Chain A
Amino acid sequence: MKKFLLRISLFVLVLFIVDKGFYYFLYKAPELEYDQRLEKVINGKINKDIIVLGSSRGAGNIIASQIEKETNLSSYNLSYIGSNVLFQEFILKSVLKFNKKPKKVILSIDNTYEFVFEKTLNFKFDKLYPLSKYNYINNELIDRKERSIISKVFCLGRLSKNSFILKKEEIPTKNPILPCGSMPFVEKSKDTKIEFLKDIKKYDSKKELPEKLKAFKNIQTICKENNIQLIFALPPNFNEFNTDFEKRFRKLMLPENKIIIYNRKNPIYKNQEYYFDALHLFKNGATVFTSEISAFINQNR
C-alpha cells in the first residue's frame, strides 16, 4: 500500500510539473486573436462614456467613433457577432468590474429575436476560450459548466484542441474591427439579392426563453444600480417594422430607460443599397442610423 500511494503521489507530482509547461499555449492564445476587445476590457482599458452592446447588428449598425464625434462623449463598441443577451450581460458585468463605469450604455436589440430561441445567437464561449489564462474568464467558464473545476489547478484543464493552433486569426475583409470596436460592413457580397418583406409574422411572446428575459432584466437592474443611462436601439431590418414586438418590448422595459427606433419614415431604410443583407446595414446605412442615435443622445442629455 505504501508503495502504491508513493507511486501515485509521484505520478501526480510529475503530471503537475509537466502540466505547467503547457502554460505557454495559454499565454500565447490571446495574442493570436484578431478581436482583442474582451482582453482590453479585462485589462481595464475600456474607460469610455458610452458603451455599445449587442450582436452583429450592434457591431455593424452602430459606429462608436461617429457617436463620439457627434456627441463629444467617448464611445466604444463591445458588440459581438452571434452573441445573445446573456453574453451581453456578461460583457456589461466585465466592463463594470475592471473599468470606470460608463455614463451610458446603448443596447442594440435584435428585433424580433432578442428573447426567443435563435440558433445563430449564443453565449460566445469561443471569445472566452482564448482568454482562459485569466482566472476571471476561467471562473466564468466553470460557472457555465464549460470547464471543470480541475482547471483551477491544471493548465491543461484550460486548454482545448484549438489552443494548439499557433496561427494568428485572419482579418475579416467584410467587416474588420475599427479602433472604436465597431464592425460596419464595408464589402458587399456580389450575389446578395434581398427583397423587402412586407408580410411579417406575428410576434409570439410565448416562445420567449426565461433565461433571456432574466438576462435582459439583469442588464436593466445593473444599469439602474450603477446610475447608468440605458438606451435601447432598435435598428432596421429589410422588412416592415414589427409593432407587436415593439409593444412587447416596451412592456419589458423599466420606465427610466430610453428607446430609439430607426426613423421609419426615412426612405433609405427601404433601399437595398443601404443593406449588407436583410438583417444588417451596409456602412452607409450604419452611418445614417448612428447619426439618429447621436441626435437622440444629444436631445436626452
Chain B
Amino acid sequence: MLFNSINFAIFLPIVFLLYWFVTKNNLKFQNILLLVASYYFYACWDFRFLFLLIFSTLLDYYSGIKIENSSSEKNRKFWFWLSIGINLGFLGVFKYYNFFVDSIKDVVFLFGHKIDLWTIKVILPVGISFYTFHGLSYVIDIYKKRIPVETNFINYATFVCYFPLLVAGPIERATHLLPQIKKKRTFNYAQAVDGLRQILWGLFKKIVIADNCAEYANLIFNNSDDYSGSTLIMGALFFTFQIYGDFSGYSDIALGTSRLFGMELLKNFNFPYFSRDIAEFWRRWHISLSSWFKDYLYIPLGGSVGGLKLKIRNTFIIFLVSGFWHGANWTFIVWGALNALYFLPLLLSNTNRNYMKIVAYDSNLPSFKELVSIIITFSLTVFAWIFFRANSLTHAITYIKDIFTSKLIALPEVRPTFVIVLVAIFILIEWIGRRNNYALEKMFTEKSVFVRWSFYFVLLFAIFIFSTKEQEFIYFQF
C-alpha cells in the first residue's frame, strides 16, 4: 500500500477513528490495533513476506530477553551473535547474494576462467533493510546495556512494524520510539493538525515534484546516448529533485501520519540542499540512517579518536557501507566512495563541524560566500547522484563523459517549463521554511483561516492537477 494511493487514503482514516474512538484510549488496545494495522499494511504488498517480518520480530524479541537474562557472558554473546547473524543473513540472501555471486564470477572471468554458481530468483521483501536495522539497533542496545529489555511482545512488535515507518523509515531507535509506545497517549489537536499539514507537504513533494521530475529524469537517463551535454545535466538535476522530493516526501508523510496517532518519529531530512559543505549535507540527508551508522558502526570502529589514519579508514567504511546498504550494485558503492572523498578534505582540515545551524538563520538571504558554498556543495551532490541513478558503472561513466563531449553549452533539448517552474516554487517554499522542522510547519499559521485554507487548497489543487501515474517510492527498493 503506497502512501500516495487511494487505498491508504481509506486505510488511514479508518485506523485513526478506530484508534481514538473504539479503543477508548486504552493503551493495550491501541497498540494491538496499531500492530494489526501494520501487519495488514505490510501484507497488502505481499503477504508471504509478512512471515519473514514476524520471524525477524520474534527472533529479536526472544534474543533480547535471552541476552538480558543470561547469567554468563558466553550466553549473552551467543544470543547476540545469533540475532545479528540471522538478521544479516536474511539481508544478505535477499539483497546481496546474487550481487556477490555475479562479482565472484566476474573476478574469476578476469583471470580467464569460468565458474558456474547458482543465482537465486527472489524478490526483495519491501522494507527489509529498514526493519532489520530496527531489530539490530534494539539487540545491540540491549547487549551494550543501554536500554532494558522489552518483555511485552505487542510493544516490541509495534516498535519494529509501526506502519508509518515500516517500509522506508525513518530508522527508529528503541530509546526513542519504545517509550512512546509504552506511554499513555491522548489526542492532541495541535499535534494532529500539524501532522496533517506535514502529510500535505509530503504529498506535494512526492506527487508534484518527485513524480514530475521522475518523468524527465527517466527519459534522459534511459536514452542518455541521444542527448546533448546540457540535457544530461538537466537529467541529473531532475533526478536530484526527484530523489529529494520522493524520499523526504515519504518521510514527511510518515512523520505526519505518526503524529495523528500521538507519536513523534525521528526527523529524517533537514533541508539538505541548502548545505554549505558535504559534512553539513550528511547531517541533513537521511539523518536516521547516517546517525545509525555513526552510532552502530563508526563509533564502535573507534570513531574519530585514535589518529588520522583510523579516522580516514572509519569514514570510508561508513560511506562505503552506507552506499552498499542502498543496493547490491557497484554504482551505490562508488556513490558512497565519492561522498567519502568529498568528506575527506573537511576531515583532514578538521572543518567538518563548521556549519551546525541552517544557512542564513538570522537573515532572509545567504551571504555571497554562503551562496557560493551552497552551489558548490549542491553541484558535488548532483554529480554523485549520477552514479546513484545510473543502471551500471559503465552507464554512469558514459553519462559523465557525454556531458563533456557533446554540446555542453547549448540549450537543453528537454526543458519542460512547468517542471522547472514547479521546482523553483518548491525551492522558494523550502527556503522560506528552512528554520522549521518542515517547510510548511509555520507557514501562514498566524494568518486567518481564509488565507491558511486557501494556501492548502492551492497545494491540493496542484497535487490533483500535476499528479501522474501512481508511482512507487524510490526507497521501497532498498
Q: Which residue of B lies closest to A154 (CB)?
A: B464
Contacts of A234 in B (CB 8 A): none
A273–B333 alpha-carbon span in the complex (Å)? 58
> Is B193 part of the contact surface with A, judged by Cβ < 8 Å?
yes
Q: Which residue of B lies closest to A18 (CB)?
A: B457
Pick the contact of B464: A1, A3, A159 (CB < 8 A).
A159
> Is B49 part of the contact surface with A, judged by Cβ < 8 Å?
no
Do B464 and A156 have beta carbons less than 8 Å apart? yes
Do B460 and A15 have beta carbons less than 8 Å apart? yes
Per-position 1/0 for B116-160, Cβ under 8 A of A:
000000000000000000000000000000000000000000000
- Say yes or no: A4-B464 contact (C-beta < 8 A), given A146-B469, A149-B6, A161-B418: no
Contacts of B453 in A (CB 8 A): 11, 14
> Is B461 part of the contact surface with A, judged by Cβ < 8 Å?
yes
A11–B20 alpha-carbon span in the complex (Å)? 20
> Is A148 part of the contact surface with B, judged by Cβ < 8 Å?
yes
Q: How far is the CB of B361 from chain A (nearest CB, A)?
A: 33
> Is A145 part of the contact surface with B, judged by Cβ < 8 Å?
yes
Do A148 and B470 have beta carbons less than 8 Å apart? yes
> Is A160 part of the contact surface with B, judged by Cβ < 8 Å?
yes
> Is A150 part of the contact surface with B, judged by Cβ < 8 Å?
yes
Do A157 and B460 have beta carbons less than 8 Å apart? no
Do B457 and A3 have beta carbons less than 8 Å apart? no
Q: How far is the CB of B469 from chain A (nearest CB, A)?
A: 6
Q: How far is the CB of A147 from chain B (nearest CB, A)?
A: 9
A154–B466 alpha-carbon span in the complex (Å)? 15
> Is B305 part of the contact surface with A, judged by Cβ < 8 Å?
no
The interface residues of chain B, by DSSP majority, are classed as: helix
Q: Which residue of B lies closest to A22 (CB)?
A: B461
> Is B467 part of the contact surface with A, judged by Cβ < 8 Å?
yes
Per-position 1/0 for B438-478, Cβ under 8 A of A:
00000000000000010011001100111101100000000
Per-position 1/0 for A1-37, Cβ under 8 A of B:
1011001100100110010000000000000000000
Do B461 and A156 have beta carbons less than 8 Å apart? yes
Contacts of B467 in A (CB 8 A): 148
> Is B192 part of the contact surface with A, judged by Cβ < 8 Å?
yes
Do A1 and B20 have beta carbons less than 8 Å apart? yes
Per-position 1/0 for A119-162, Cβ under 8 A of B:
00000000000000000000000000110111000101101110
A148–B9 alpha-carbon span in the complex (Å)? 11
Q: How far is the CB of A119 from chain B (nearest CB, A)?
A: 10
Q: How far is the CB of A131 from chain B (nearest CB, A)?
A: 17
> Is B189 part of the contact surface with A, judged by Cβ < 8 Å?
yes
Contacts of B457 in A (CB 8 A): 14-15, 18
Q: Which residue of A lies closest to B212 (CB)?
A: A161
A15–B460 alpha-carbon span in the complex (Å)? 9
> Is B45 part of the contact surface with A, judged by Cβ < 8 Å?
no
Contacts of A154 in B (CB 8 A): 464
Q: How far is the CB of A19 from chain B (nearest CB, A)?
A: 8
Q: How far is the CB of B288 from chain A (nearest CB, A)?
A: 28
A163–B470 alpha-carbon span in the complex (Å)? 20
Contacts of B187 in A (CB 8 A): 1, 4
A154–B467 alpha-carbon span in the complex (Å)? 14
Most interface-central of A4, A11, A161, A164 (chain B CB within 10 A): A4
Contacts of A11 in B (CB 8 A): 453, 456
Per-position 1/0 for A249-261, Cβ under 8 A of B:
0000000000000
Contacts of B456 in A (CB 8 A): 11
Contacts of A160 in B (CB 8 A): 465
Do B469 and A145 have beta carbons less than 8 Å apart? yes
Per-position 1/0 for A178-202, Cβ under 8 A of B:
0000000000000000000000000
A130–B63 alpha-carbon span in the complex (Å)? 60
Q: How far is the CB of B23 from chain A (nearest CB, A)?
A: 13
Contacts of B466 in A (CB 8 A): 161
Contacts of A163 in B (CB 8 A): 465
A147–B6 alpha-carbon span in the complex (Å)? 11
A153–B192 alpha-carbon span in the complex (Å)? 26
A81–B193 alpha-carbon span in the complex (Å)? 50
Do B6 and A159 have beta carbons less than 8 Å apart? no
Most interface-central of B187, B418, B453, B464 (chain A CB within 10 A): B464
Q: Which residue of B lies closest to A151 (CB)?
A: B464
Q: How far is the CB of B204 from chain A (nearest CB, A)?
A: 14
Q: How far is the CB of B455 from chain A (nearest CB, A)?
A: 12
A46–B193 alpha-carbon span in the complex (Å)? 53
Q: How far is the CB of A186 from chain B (nearest CB, A)?
A: 30
A145–B470 alpha-carbon span in the complex (Å)? 8
Contacts of B418 in A (CB 8 A): 161
* Those of B1-15 within 8 Å (CB) of chain A: 6, 9
Q: How far is the CB of A128 from chain B (nearest CB, A)?
A: 14
Residues of A within 8 A of B (CB): 1, 3-4, 7-8, 11, 14-15, 18, 145-146, 148-150, 154, 156-157, 159-161, 163-164
**A4-B187, A148-B467 known, 4 other contacts, Cβ within 8 Å:** A1-B187, A11-B456, A157-B464, A159-B464
The 4 A-B pairs with the shortest beta carbon distances in the complex, nearest first, are A156-B464, A1-B187, A149-B6, A4-B189
Query: 22 A–B contact pairs at CB < 8 A?
Result: A1-B20, A1-B189, A3-B189, A4-B187, A11-B453, A11-B456, A14-B453, A14-B457, A15-B457, A145-B469, A145-B470, A146-B469, A148-B6, A149-B6, A156-B460, A156-B461, A156-B464, A156-B465, A157-B464, A159-B465, A161-B418, A161-B466
